[in-house]
Amino acid sequence: MIRLVYLLRRKPEMSLDEFQRYWRDVHGPLVAGVATVLGIRRYVQVHTVDDPVNAAMQEARGGMEPAYDGVAELWFESEEALAETMTSSEGQAAGAMLLKDEARFIHLSQSPLWLSVEYPQVNPQGEALIATPRSSWQKLYFPLRLRSALGFEAGQSYWRMHHGPLIRSQAQAAGIYRYQQVHRLKSEMEAVLRAARGTEVDAYDGHAEVWVDRALRREGVEPKFRS
């Protein structure tokens, strides 16, 4: 199983509320309607919330780039399965329809995307953690660029084998309930998807996902995650 990660910036003329409403209520059903044709096994929209903790985390890390407006996540059986659907006549028609709609609300050139694989680190079994407006869960998203001096493979290995255990050892004290590393998978399909959208922003080397309980934050326990 592979995951397509698509970081989204809205078109400049749209408000965050307009963007997220269109994405959820118009584009989401379009994706669902062609999911079988495109071989999409799972589709999740992650909507950015207006929360002071976003700015606080950016400042703590030396001034990060502005947060994205959301993340689209799509799971496929394999690279081969994705390539097969994208070359079929039905798949090409469905993909073209979705891309035409993306252009209505997504700033395509500034919205990077890539394929990835998952490495769960702190992962409670048997519990479905879904961050919704009505649940107490929040999902923190950290797109990462590895230090160039390490190189891609060595950097991902260090992240998984050294940094991961550090997070696991501090998870309970830091209020982290779930932590997952999602590593970029270098693939020829990435170039195809970027070219179709005129993507200008470089793909990230992966991202970290952290689930925290908003109830704990209200009690003054802030997550102390460092990536």
> From first to last of its 227 residues, what are the pLDDT tens digits of the chain?
999 999 999 999 999 999 999 999 999 999 999 999 999 999 999 999 876 565 556 665 666 678 899 999 999 999 999 999 989 999 999 999 999 999 999 999 999 999 999 998 987 655 566 766 766 778 889 999 999 999 999 999 999 999 999 999 988 888 888 899 999 999 999 999 999 999 999 999 999 998 888 665 544 445 444 44
**Tokens standing for residue 82:** 């994705």
List the chain domain ranges. Answer: 2-218
| C-alpha atoms less than 13 angstroms from C-alpha of 167 in its C-beta half-sphere | 26
* DSSP bridge pairs for 140: 210
Residues 6+ apart with CB under 8 A from 149: none
Instruction: Name the CATH architecture for the domain at 2-218.
Output: 2-Layer Sandwich (3.30)
State the residue for tokens 């696991």.
168
Cα 179 from Cα 177, distance rounded (Å):
7
